[in-house]
Each structure stands twice: as structure tokens, then as C-alpha cells.
């Protein structure tokens, strides 16, 4: 897995620089492919192994990178909420599925998440909630199909986060430490 991740890391790191390049007209296909690779690796490894893969070549774990990637995807979706399909929405779908795999293992106590990984997940949750609340407040009085679509998107994002934490398991934060 390390060889695969080492090859793909150039497509997705640093997330803010890659995202800015895409916003300025660069190709998003490698970024999306990199997100798919992270999902595949997360599906084939435990959450602790997934997190430790990047630690062998970086000062942080793969979960921290996943958090940064997801933050950039959230920003892109919020910045482009009037557009139907964007690279951000595609990436966000893939990255949230990756989180679902990782957090599902952590909640089921199959593979406990590191404190560093739990902090990254917590920070990401905060970013997602704050961003969506701000965007919802900004569009609360709009009466357009785009605003309605966005409100449904916010609702489904929050449902995803809540259901990931509570479905069939104790609250997420109880299983992370």
C-alpha cells in the first residue's frame, strides 16, 4: 500500500495548493483518482494501518491528510453551490465514503483511531458544521432551486455525520479514545 500511496500523494498533496490549481483551471482528474485510491486503501486496511501509512514518510498521518482533503472539498462545494456537478462535490462524495469506512471501523472497535486521527476528525466535523451553517444562513431567504438543493445537501451532510456517529454504536467520541 505504501508504494501506491507514495505514487498518488503527488496528486493530492498539499491539498490547498492542488485545490487552488484546480480552481484556476488545472485538471481535477488526478485529484479525484487520488481520492478513489484513498477509499480503496481505507477499505482494504484497518483505520490504524491506514493512518500509519503516511507517517512513515511524513510528520502526520493519512487521516490528517484525509481531513485536509475533505476540508478543501467542502470549501469547493460551498464556493460553487450554484453549479450542479463540480470536482469538489465528486471528491466530497468519495472522501465522505472514506470517512465512513474509517469511522465505521473505529466505532465497531475493530481498529481504534489514534488521538491525532480523532483530533483531525473532530476538526473536520467542526469545519463542516460551521461552513454549512454559515452557507445555510446566507441562503436562508433565497427562494430558488439552487437554494433548495443546497438546503437538502446541508441536511444530508448533517444526517451523514450524525448517523455515522450514532448508528448501531455508542457515540463516536466514546470509541475514539
With a cut of 50, list the residues of the chain below it in pLDDT: 165-177
Give Cα 20 to chain centroid, integer Å: 17
Closest CA to 114 of 46, 176, 64, 175: 176
Q: What is the pLDDT of residues 40-64, one digit of tens each?
A: 999 998 888 888 888 888 888 899 8
In the chain, domain spans: 2-176
- CB neighbour list of residue 9: distance below 8 Å, 6 or more residues apart: 34, 54, 57
pLDDT of amino acid 156: 59
pLDDT of amino acid 38: 94
CA distance linking residue 166 with residue 152, whole number of Å: 21
pLDDT of amino acid 176: 42
pTM, rounded to two decimals:
0.72
Amino acid at each position: 500500500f505504501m508504494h501506491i500511496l507514495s505514487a498518488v500523494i503527488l496528486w493530492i498533496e498539499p491539498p490547498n495548493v492542488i485545490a487552488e490549481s484546480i480552481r484556476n483551471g488545472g485538471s481535477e482528474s488526478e485529484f479525484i483518482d487520488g481520492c478513489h485510491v484513498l477509499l480503496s486503501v481505507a477499505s482494504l486496511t484497518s483505520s490504524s494501518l491506514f493512518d500509519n501509512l503516511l507517517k512513515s514518510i511524513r510528520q502526520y498521518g493519512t487521516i490528517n491528510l484525509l481531513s485536509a482533503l475533505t476540508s478543501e472539498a467542502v470549501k469547493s462545494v460551498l464556493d460553487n453551490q450554484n453549479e450542479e456537478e463540480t470536482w469538489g462535490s465528486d471528491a466530497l462524495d468519495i472522501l465522505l465514503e472514506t470517512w465512513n469506512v474509517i469511522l465505521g471501523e473505529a466505532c465497531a472497535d475493530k481498529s481504534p483511531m489514534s488521538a491525532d486521527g480523532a483530533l483531525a476528525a473532530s476538526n473536520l466535523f467542526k469545519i463542516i458544521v460551521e461552513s454549512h451553517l454559515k452557507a445555510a444562513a446566507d441562503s436562508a431567504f433565497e427562494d430558488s432551486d439552487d437554494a433548495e438543493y443546497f438546503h437538502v445537501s446541508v441536511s444530508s451532510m448533517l444526517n451523514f455525520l450524525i448517523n455515522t456517529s450514532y448508528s448501531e454504536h455508542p457515540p463516536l467520541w466514546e470509541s475514539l479514545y
